[in-house]
Structure 1
Amino acid sequence: MADTLLANQAPAPGLKRALRFRDLVLYGIVLIQPTAPMPSFGIIYQQARGHVVTAVLLAMVAMLFTSISYGRMARVHPHGGSAFLYVGKEIHPSLGYLTGWCLVMDYILNPLICVIWCSRAAMNFIHGVPYVVFVVFFAILFTALNCNGVETSARINALVAALLGAVIVLVLAAAVRWIAMQTHMGMSAFLQPFYDPGTFRMDGLLRGTSIAVLTYIGFDGISTLTDEAKDPARSIPRAIVFTCFITGILAAIEVYAAQIIWPHGQAFPDIDTAYVYVSGRAGGPVLFLIVNGALLLANMGSGMASQLGAARLLYAMGQDGALPRRFFAAVDSRNRIPRNNVLLIGAICFVGALCFSYQLGTELLNYGALLAFAGVNLSSILYGWRHGRLHQWFPMLLSLGGLVTCMFLWGNLGRLALTAGTAWALAGILLWVIQRRPGITIEA
């Protein structure tokens, strides 16, 4: 009788494998956002002494190596898709924990830099209002909406991405029109965005490249769709690499046009919203307002989503006992969200936006991201070493290129970012050690 019931029982429903290669690439581009280089354009421009397009392309090389390693690891570990999982499985669980701890910093910093940028962009709309007023407004806005369970849907995210794509078309069309109207530009002006002998410095370019990595962060999210992709063993790795490549080419075009319009040596009214002022020069006040508003909207959506994502990550760590369970694993009974974590991150965003510059926030975010990327590359190398060294030599060589470039860029981050990031990593190591001492618990 029991056997008959089991035989007649319907199988448990699973996720539908409906996503094709182009769907995965589109998802990746939406996740990264097609306007990714615009918010950080000013600080890369400043650090690289005008060589933004070169910095973006060099960062793309490092990310292409890393995207290949991500694709290999997604094929080996199809259920997961996270750097700390790959590092924990292929290297050691303790290093996987440290990788995850660095990613926690990234999750927290993302809404923080969105608060900073939104506040700067709002000042372009409403003059005379102090920066701190907008910081308070956006920190409270993100927190209040997340505390009330307001989430953006995938359809809204796709619509925002389409609107940002339209903004890019407007900017590039205005740039072409502006360039066509210039009668004094020689061929050297079109080559200077790649290399200007009068301003080039290798240390500045490398510093700018380490910041330009921010343009690509998010491509690894494609690996989380393994269970919904058709032929995931083939489509997921290809989509990760192709998304990274498309992002790099599109970003290079966007910043190349901006550098032609605003050559090095001319100061920006505001370095954080520099691309908005470039748009204003190319298309006048109307385009200035359109780009400023579009990027403000995009950063608001990103800030809200990343704040809730960080709160959920802290919740998961509280459930696992990595953080005090009573505070971090608490869930609001009405909205079913980790309210304590949302409030905590909102407070961090408020204080951090007053203490941090946008540049320091992005460099700190890249501190964790580059270490995580290096860990994925090393995981790919060790996997190849253990599973057929001879026929795995080429993938291992590519992963070695990713490891070397990521660590090199990591070493070129600012001294303050390296110091603060290392302090965060040491705090994570201390917490890891305390957790494992006999008789000590952090369950309270």
Structure 2
Amino acid sequence: MQQEKMNRSLTLIPVVLFGFSFMALATVFSTYGVAAEISHGMVSGSYLLALIVMLFTAYSYGQMAKAVPSAGSAYAYTQKSISPYVGFMVGWAVLMDYLFIPMVNYLLFGIFFSAAFPAVPSYVWILGMLLLVTIVNVKGIKLATVANAFISLFSLLFILIFIGLSAKDILGGAGTGTIFNLEPFYNPEESFSYVVAGAALLCFSFLGFDSATAFAEETINPKKTIPRAVIIITLVGGAIFMTVSYFAHNVWPDYTTFTNADAASHEIITSVGGKTLASMFLAVYFVTVFGSAMSSQASASRVLFAMGRDGQLPKFFGKLHHKYQTPINNILLISVVSLLSLFLSLTLVASFINFGAFIAFISVNIAVIAYYFIRKKERSFKGTILYLILPSIGAILDLWLLLNLDIHSKVLGSIWFALGLIYLFFLTKGFKQRPPELHLGAAESS
């Protein structure tokens, strides 16, 4: 039977744009106030530490993308390098991340815009955004690429305007009155533990760098393109987050004077650019939510596609649209699941995401060790550093962050994980049979 295959059309820039859209570059504004309180004003320092942590895992994703250029991402990597049982459970955990990220975006969109336009109920905003995202993803990668380019450029334009106006105000005597100031990175009067606490929160701003690997089967020369894209997304995203938070601090150095920490960025933006910039931010928020929901839905649909095509989920999930060559069944299913955003709370939905993400991150770091250091015997001095020490550091740092998640994340995540284990038990007839495996043929590196 002929295996379903996707069309290869993506180059480096479109893949990077998908990652930026998933990551949502403007998310730095929505988290700034809370991060400032947790880090005692050292938000840039927390972003720098978070960037360092995430680079280890981004490196591991890049290494596995060379070995297993498949749409399954973390699921495919662990399946081929560790075992199909582990691969299934990692895929299950990744679904928890990808399935609920669109829901968070819809919830935030409904909350934010119903507050801005009280006459329109939140469910209208949620349903409208959900329908728009679904149509774009069904139409396929080319349309989504155009949308991502617009979203990323619009977000970057707003960020540049904000930085420019902030610099003008600071040089005019506002805030700290100086452009060069180390306090956003580290204040010697404060404990470094506050920087660490901020980093634990802000690592979640980087979620999305890994989404690029889900498009490996639609990428031209994925073994070269995907590793580059993952590192570029992580580095550029981190640089933008640090820069925006640096100027935000220098414009408004006393984080204790925010009227509302959740809306701190709105206060800062209004003080820098007045109502005009605040209105522009509303537009940026619209495209940011759209981009993140679109990219996360696209990534989730491709993980489901890989698992369905391999037989680890029913074949229903492994089908492509005859015209658009997109996993339409999965896209529509995710849209239906996302309707739960009409009823669930933001706190409950957000609790699912973090657990799944760090399970996947830890597993991919271990996959590098299993594939290169153990199976391929890359044990020279260079190989030991690249394929044992670096991924080990990444796994340990990710485990540390997983253990520091709140109790809701750990409880709800464990329940989801247990459900996956039960399904795997029946799929393998009590673990007596091996689960269906990913077959890449010539695509897999030897």
When normalised by structure 2's length, the TM-score is: 0.80
Quick one: distance in 2 between partners of 1:305 and 1:166? 20
Alignment counterpart, residue 105 of structure 1, candidates 96, 99, 116? 96
Aligned residue type for 2:145: A
Shift, 1:60, TM fit: 0.7
Mapping for residues 231-380 of structure 1, pairs under 5 Å: 233-234=223-224, 236-262=226-252, 263-269=254-260, 271=262, 273-307=263-297, 309-310=299-300, 313-314=303-304, 317=307, 322=312, 337-338=328-329, 341-352=333-344, 355-357=345-347, 361-362=349-350, 364-380=352-368
Shift, 1:65, TM fit: 0.9
Deviations 1:32-69 (A, max 9, x none): 44334233333333433433212211111111111211
8 Å CA contact 2:107, 2:126 repeated in 1: no
Quick one: distance in 1 between partners of 2:228 and 2:134? 38
Q: What residue is the counterpart of 2:128 in the other structure? A: 141
Aligned residue type for 2:355: Y
Q: What residue is the counterpart of 1:68 in the other structure? A: 59
Aligned residue type for 2:272: A
SS at match of 2:181: helix
Mapping for residues 375-390 of structure 1, pairs under 5 Å: 375-386=363-374, 387-390=377-380
Residue 236 and residue 337 in structure 1: after superposition, are their counterparts in 2 closer, same or farther (change >3 A)? closer
8 Å CA contact 2:58, 2:231 repeated in 1: yes
**Residue 200 (structure 2) pairs with residue 213 (structure 1):** no
**Residue 144 (structure 2) pairs with residue 156 (structure 1):** no
Deviations 1:179-209 (A, max 9, x none): 122267377993332234566462x544432
SS at match of 2:256: coil
SS at match of 1:371: helix
Residue 402 and residue 333 in structure 1: after superposition, are their counterparts in 2 closer, same or farther (change >3 A)? closer
Mapping for residues 49-68 of structure 1, pairs under 5 Å: 49-68=40-59
Q: What residue is the counterpart of 2:427 in the other structure? A: 435
Percent of aligned positions that are identical: 23
Runs of 4 or more above 6 Å deviation = 186-189, 328-336
Shift, 1:341, TM fit: 1.4
Aligned residue type for 1:177: K
Deviates more, 1:114-123 or 1:38-47: 38-47
SS at match of 2:176: coil
Residue 331 and residue 184 in structure 1: after superposition, are their counterparts in 2 closer, same or farther (change >3 A)? closer
Q: Which of the pair has more CA radius of gyration?
A: 1
SS at match of 1:388: coil
Q: What residue is the counterpart of 1:77 in the other structure? A: 68
When normalised by structure 1's length, the TM-score is: 0.80
Quick one: distance in 1 between partners of 2:96 and 2:35? 22
Which 5+ residue runs of structure 2 have no aligned equivalent? 433-446
Shift, 1:301, TM fit: 3.5
Shift, 1:28, TM fit: 4.4
Q: What residue is the counterpart of 2:438 in the other structure? A: none
SS at match of 2:257: coil
Question: Between Structure 1 and Structure 2, how many residues are aligned?
Answer: 415
Deviations 1:136-161 (A, max 9, x none): 22332244446665675311220221
Aligned residue type for 1:137: V
Give me the CA root mean square deviation. 3.7
Deviates more, 1:218-227 or 1:156-165: 218-227
Q: What residue is the counterpart of 2:395 in the other structure? A: 403
Q: What residue is the counterpart of 1:4 in the other structure? A: none
SS at match of 1:99: helix
Residue 81 and residue 309 in structure 1: after superposition, are their counterparts in 2 closer, same or farther (change >3 A)? closer
